[in-house]
Amino acid sequence: MTQVVVGQNEPIESTLRRFKRQVARAGIYIDYKKHQFFETPEEKRKRKEATRQRQRSRRH
């Protein structure tokens, strides 16, 4: 779980910026987007295959 301690004279903007940075580093938002909707096994397989194809085409 990501936690941010707010300093006594710290502006809320800098606290939010630190929180967003920690969330991005932890990969929480990406994980949330991935699990937002149910994905059938067939959809997972197709998505992974499309990712493999994209990576293969970028390498060559």
Q: What is the pLDDT of residues 19-53, one digit of tens each?
A: 999 999 999 999 999 899 999 999 999 999 999 99
In whole angstroms, give the CA distance from residue 22 to residue 10.
Answer: 17
Q: Which domain holds residue 18?
A: 12-59
Give residue 53's pLDDT.
96
Number of domains comprising the chain: 1
Note whether residue 18 is domain-resident: yes
Q: Is the pTM of this model over 0.75?
A: no
Note whether residue 7 is domain-resident: no
Note whether residue 41 is domain-resident: yes
Note whether residue 2 is domain-resident: no
Note whether residue 4 is domain-resident: no
Note whether residue 5 is domain-resident: no
Note whether residue 6 is domain-resident: no
**Which positions ≥6 away from 31 have C-beta within 8 Å?**
none
